[in-house]
Amino acid sequence: MAEPLRIALAGLGTVGAGVIRLLDENAALVGARAGRPLQIVAVSARDRAKDRGVDLSRYDWCDDMTAMAARDDVDIVVELVGGSDGPALTLARNTIAQGKGLVTANKAMIAHHGLALAEAAESAGVALKFEAAVAGGIPVVKGLREGAAANAIESVQGILNGTCNFILSTMEDSGADFGDVLAQAQALGYAEADPTFDIEGIDAAHKLAILSAIAFGARLDFAQVHAEGIARVRAADIARAKDLGFVIRLVGSADVEPAPGGGQRLLQRVRPCLVPDGHPLAHVDGPTNAVVAQGNFSGRLLFQGAGAGDGPTASAVVADLIDIARGEAGPAFSVPVGDLAPLEPADAGERTGRNYIRFTVADRPGVLAEITAAMRDAGVSIESLIQQGRQKEGGEVLVAMVVHEGPARTVTEALRLLEGSESLTAPPLVMPILAA
Ligand SMILES: NC(=O)c1ccc[n+]([C@@H]2O[C@H](COP(=O)([O-])OP(=O)(O)OC[C@H]3O[C@@H](n4cnc5c(N)ncnc54)[C@H](OP(=O)(O)O)[C@@H]3O)[C@@H](O)[C@H]2O)c1
């Protein structure tokens, strides 16, 4: 029998306990596929007394998780604690410095420190793997890094945050407004008590930055990702979009374009978008995640599945462990860190497309004329306009419009012309309309 791969497991929450359950239940097949048993030897979390529904008596308990990497009986560390910095990062650095491989589900840490960790892992000749960090149980890191490795990837689009997708698809089904559905999502465990990272698009931006590095061979630069969240999307927007044949989804999209002086430029954005019925992301509902990648030889690839949860995320973590046990590691981001290209950001203003714009306006004469005049002066051509009837005398009215394809900067200019207008009762909401 081959020697076991001996694992230290830091973090025994949703994912950590899921990994223990998976390794218990699938021990034989995992061992057969890995070519050796995967054996947890030490665990760590904050509260030793907490019942996690799994038998921890088999493992050594470590109060200080950052010291786990130095143990002689540990070959690999699995970090399932979370947080971009703090003890998770200390443990990651310690692990690599000890010449041991690291598996993590921590997208925040990889988005902020992934390059430095990958560089250290390359120098130490150890594996750094993070399949579970992007889209939970979906093998999209592996899919792009290995399955699609022969392609130049032209674009990546994804529904990368299950909480937002649950909220938007529930708003669509129930007609309820954002705040009510968020509370429901929190009660069901689909949203954190502090949902800021999810609803402001930051979590999706972490994942998009990681995918971009792998897909385009770009030096990961989280600061380049433009993120807008879903908190300003109203039930009325969803109803208007539906009338027009669209659903609203929080979509992370990244693509490359030729740079003027040669090379490529990269655009990475997370925004609520109108998705047409024929688009593969239009039917991704509830907490499901999906990624669509366009390869120059493979054509369009669709990866879809559970983006979170103990089972799916544990599945991704253990797949990484199996790769390491088999000796299949390779550079974390497909190519060595030194070969990743520092791509300049593309100019979003020059991108053309159709947009949905919703104004919240005071119910008084002349408002519509003021808006359409700003559109005309900025060179934005209105394709269709929907004005929702007033709800009460003198109350607020929603004016939603779809504008013809044109450069994004013209829409920005129209909104600039309307800045400070007393007719608008809230900042307008612009959502791009994805091409089918
Ligand atoms: N949940 C998902 O579906 C999912 C999906 C993909 C990726 N991820 C990522 O996986 C990681 C873990 O997520 P999770 O949902 O499992 O989180 P979680 O349920 O909150 O579990 C976190 C674990 O880390 C422990 N911990 C926290 N701070 C610690 C500290 N300072 N020292 C020692 N232990 C500490 C906690 O200990 P106690 O239990 O004692 O409090 C807990 O066991 C995160 O990076 C997350 O982004 C999660």
Q: State the pLDDT at residue 391.
A: 60
Residue with tokens 């786990």: 68
HEC string of 71-128 equals CCCCCEEEECCCCCCHHHHHHHHHHHHCCCEEEECCHHHHHHHHHHHHHHHHHHCCCE
Test site for ligand 1: of 21, 46, 110, most ligand atoms within 8 A of the Cβ: 46
CA of 116 to the centre of ligand 1 (A): 22
Q: What is the mean pLDDT of residues 41-69?
A: 97
Q: What is the pLDDT of residues 301-346, one digit of tens each?
A: 999 999 999 999 999 999 999 999 999 889 999 999 999 999 999 9
Q: What is the pLDDT of residues 176-229, one digit of tens each?
A: 999 999 999 999 888 888 999 999 999 999 999 999 999 999 999 999 999 999
Ligand 1, CB cutoff 6 Å, lining residues:
11-16, 44-47, 50, 65, 80-82, 87, 105-107, 132, 136, 308-309, 313
Q: State the pLDDT at residue 392.
A: 57
- Give the pTM: 0.97
Q: 267 has which bridge partners?
A: 255
The alpha-helical segments, DSSP class H, found in 125-245 are: 140-142, 162-174, 178-187, 196-199, 202-216, 235-243
Among protein residues, the one whose CA lies closest to atom 29 of ligand 1: 46
Residue in 331, 324, 352 with CA at minimum distance from that of residue 410: 352
Whether the Cβ atoms of residue 178 and residue 167 lie closer than 8 Å to each other: yes
The answer to whether residue 412 scores a pLDDT higher than 80 is: yes
The alpha-helical segments, DSSP class H, found in 104-201 are: 107-124, 140-142, 162-174, 178-187, 196-199
What count of Cα atoms within 13 Å lies in the side-chain half-sphere of residue 67? Answer: 5
Residue with tokens 């076991």: 4
Q: Which atom of ligand 1 is nearest to the CA of 106?
A: 45
Q: What is the pLDDT of residues 94-109, one digit of tens each?
A: 999 999 999 999 999 9
Among protein residues, the one whose CA lies closest to atom 32 of ligand 1: 46
- Three-class secondary structure of residue 147 per DSSP: helix
Q: What is the mean pLDDT of residues 134-155?
A: 97
Q: State the pLDDT at residue 388.
A: 72
